[in-house]
Amino acid sequence: MFQSWYATCPRGAEEVLAGELQGIGAKGIRPGRGGVRFTGEREVALRGCLALRTALRVLEPIGEFPAESSDQLYASARELPWEELIAPGQTIAVSASGRAPGLSHTRFVEQRTKDAIVDRLREVRGDRPDVELRSPDVLVVVHLGEGRGSVSLDLAGELLSNRGYRVRTVEAPLREALAAAVVLLSGWDGTTPFHDPLCGSGTVAIEAALIGLRRAPNLRRNLSCERWPRTKADRPLIARLREELSALEARSELPPILASDRDPEAVAATSANARAAGVPLRVFESDARAIAALSPPGHVVANVPYGERLSAGSRKQLKSFYHSLGDALGALRGHRLALLSASDDFESAFGLRPRSRTTLWNGPLRCALYRYGR
């Protein structure tokens, strides 16, 4: 059945997600704030769960109504046919965002919606579902805005960006979906060498390798909709999609993908994560300011250290680091650079003139992706 869907993503990555959706055959693509609406058969949305790199969730809308008070939200949510959507014995969780008058606390919105579901099921069927926050069978997503509430089900049940390969982290890892957006925005197409010289736990380089291999990032993930009572037909469909997507994987060898950091802990974390992801990276310890040119020239993509609430002395130190990094990266001939930074000092201290600047949000942190070269 042709229907509407909504995929969420890190803010700023909407256009990249829209491009990905186009690539999997979605129609009616309308980027919004932190997500993209689209239409299509159920197959497109399920393919999206397995294949989209920049999506956080793929949501199936099940109801939209005026929600100008807590009682209105409760009454409208109770009208929805929960007995068709949640099988006896299944667990639920509710995740809310946005606000409406009198409904500014997301915890309260979650509680009222949960009460509506539980009361409806008790009335219609005489049972009550348990709440399971970590991996519920049915994750209900509520969004409030402009006096309206929308209720959706999360097809995957867990953030798509939790790919499962991050077995070790060092400080401030990027969300996988944001790292994928950075690589896609850098213009890397998987044919030239790639280097992240500030690799941390390796997320950028691992997402690059997954892109280069054309491997669907969530190919092996079990989706919660496979367990839902109304959509039993999803199971064989997803099995077929998995086969189709794995046949699309590149069989040829990747160009070199390098990941380095001066911190040995980061090097160990990146090696462990690359192993868990099953991707071939060249990981080594090195200072980014000693970077060597790639041969042939390729892409240098990184998320630079920024430091929040720095003292004047550390701020000066960071600026001088950006300056020497600019000298080192500026000396690489014929390369393309894409650097994500949350620091207002970065652009001028780095000293090169960016070809473009894109705002991306790392959770609550406003960042810019600066692109340099050709």
- Binding residues for ligand SAM, per CB under 6 A? 170, 172-174, 179, 197-198, 200-201, 203-204, 261-263, 266, 287-289, 303, 305
Q: Report the distance separating Cα 249 and Cα 303, nearest Å.
A: 27
Of 74 and 361, the one with the shorter C-beta distance to ligand SAM is 361
CB of 185 to ligand SAM, least distance (A): 15
Tell me 354's DSSP state: P
Of 150 and 161, the one with the shorter C-beta distance to ligand SAM is 161
CB of 303 to ligand SAM, least distance (A): 4
Of 142 and 208, the one with the shorter C-beta distance to ligand SAM is 208
CB of 335 to ligand SAM, least distance (A): 17
CB of 225 to ligand SAM, least distance (A): 29
Of 15 and 287, the one with the shorter C-beta distance to ligand SAM is 287
Edge-to-edge strand order for the sheet containing 282-285? Answer: 282-285, 257-261, 194-196, 299-303, 336-341, 365-372, 356-362
Of 116 and 337, the one with the shorter C-beta distance to ligand SAM is 337
For the record, the structure tokens of 319 come out as 């600026």
Of 95 and 270, the one with the shorter C-beta distance to ligand SAM is 270
Q: Tell me if 2 sits within 8 A of 28, measured CB to CB.
A: no
CB of 254 to ligand SAM, least distance (A): 20
CB of 272 to ligand SAM, least distance (A): 12
Q: Report the distance separating Cα 224 and Cα 213, nearest Å.
A: 26
Q: Report the distance separating Cα 62 and Cα 118, nearest Å.
A: 17
Give which of 254, 242, 323, 245 is closest to 288, Cα–Cα: 323
Q: Tell me if 275 sits within 8 A of 259, measured CB to CB.
A: no
Q: Which residue's CB comes closest to ligand SAM? A: 200
Q: Report the distance separating Cα 55 and Cα 35, nearest Å.
A: 8
